[in-house]
Homo-oligomer: A and B are copies of this chain.
Amino acid sequence: MSEIHLDPYLSRYAARTRGMGASEIRALFSVASRPEVVSLAGGSPDTAALDYDAVAAVFDEIARTNGPAALQYGGGQGLPALREQLVEVMAAEHTPAHADDLVVTTGGQQALDLVTKLFCDPGDVVVAEGPSYVGALGAFSAYQAEVVHAPMDEAGLMPDALADVLARLRHAGRRPKFLYTIPNHQNPAGVSLSTERRQRVLAIAEEHDLLVVEDNPYGLIDFKGEQHPTLRSLAPERVVYVGTLSKIFAPGIRVGWVAAAGPLRDKLILLKEASDLCQSNLAQCVAERWLATQPWLVQVGHFRELYRGRCAALIDELTNELPAACTWSVPTGGLFVWARMPEGIHTGELLARALSARVAYVPGRAFYADGGGARDLRLCFSSAREERIREGVRRLAEVVTSELELIRAVSG
């Protein structure tokens, strides 16, 4: 009984099916996870580099001393003791915060989801760097928000170009709901916003009465030990700050947070509760005990050194192997290199050949909401070992080189 035809039901009644082009990337990751493929595609930290005796000790302490609370519901804002520890993490980024202003979220991703849920009706505009984090674009698109990109160069978001974008929007009578930016070791571009530009970006935001959403997953993964001031530290009221333990501890606990001034924080708590009631107390206890009882900054330093070496191997091999017309960013931290292929190459179309050659990357188009990035690709250096990264680049270089030869043969 009770037949229903779901495809027509969805096309008639579903509100939010536009723009959800993530299935291409899911298919990619499914192939990329095969052991014979060198995956430079994901964005995974190397969780094998953690100390599992320490992890086991943390788990055991929770089960033995705090089990019933760890397995119970919690409040919508997150455990106070964890929020106190997250204030310490922000202090390591020289960013003052108060535990009352923090809301614990399911990774940084949920913080972006909740901020978008709070501000965006269908058709609203969000301004973001181009390229930008694919997960943020997915969150914006799920609320049918339109992303307008502002370009970057090797010193990050370009203030004059941002001012132009905002002026054009104003002229068109469209008011963006917020600026989304990753100032440190941007994903995917692998560049950082210069200190001088941070002041200018904030001044432009002030001029346009624009809220700024600062996403900072990689600030502590800095190979030079130099830190630019966070936007939040420069303008605490204007900036909603998004943090995560995914890159400095572990993504599998899904603990991130958002720091926002009172009225915004209160709305975000309500939306968190409406979304999933509360963060996992177990995950929060693991995070809190890790930060409170383990030398977590030493572990961060360990990740930093590991990734610094892998990044250097990647850059070295790109320099040795890729055809001359290719260019790439040279990151000073984070997890990603952004590379541009020569004219004529479409990285989306090249991907099938790369996978056949047993190397995976993410095509640049995934990081643009407007079809940009066709010649670009993102390479991740955090998850594979150095020799595998070098092998992956050699495979990629062969594919690119033979594609270029094909293009030259056809066109000449």
Known: A16-B271, A63-B55, A274-B138. A280 touches B254 (CB 8 A): yes
A37 CB contacts on chain B under 8 angstroms: none
Distance between A130 CB and nearest chain B CB, rounded to angstroms: 19
Could you tell me the distance between the alpha carbons of A136 and B211 in the complex, rounded to whole angstroms?
A: 30
Distance between A15 CB and nearest chain B CB, rounded to angstroms: 4
The 8 closest A-B pairs by CB, nearest first: A71-B250, A56-B63, A2-B235, A106-B276, A71-B252, A142-B274, A59-B59, A252-B281
Residues A58-88 near B (CB distance < 8 A): 59-60, 62-64, 67-76
- Is A177's beta carbon under 8 Å from chain B? yes
- Is A139's beta carbon under 8 Å from chain B? yes
Q: Which of A3-11, A164-172, A330-338 contacts B (4 or more CB under 8 A)?
A: A3-11
Distance between A266 CB and nearest chain B CB, rounded to angstroms: 7
- Is A135's beta carbon under 8 Å from chain B? yes
- Is A277's beta carbon under 8 Å from chain B? yes
A68 CB contacts on chain B under 8 angstroms: 47-48, 50, 52
Residues A251-289 near B (CB distance < 8 A): 251-254, 261-264, 266-267, 269-271, 273-283, 286
Count of chain A residues with a beta carbon within 8 Å of a chain B beta carbon: 100
Contact for A250 among B72, B253, B279, CB less than 8 A: B72
Please determine whether B56 and A71 come into contact, CB atoms closer than 8 angstroms: no
Residues A120-167 near B (CB distance < 8 A): 120-122, 124, 135, 138-139, 141-142
A110 CB contacts on chain B under 8 angstroms: 275-276
Please determine whether B252 and A206 come into contact, CB atoms closer than 8 angstroms: no
* New A-B pairs, 13, CB < 8 Å, besides A73-B251, A138-B273, A142-B275: A1-B199, A1-B234, A2-B202, A4-B206, A4-B235, A15-B117, A20-B270, A20-B271, A56-B67, A106-B276, A110-B276, A138-B270, A254-B277
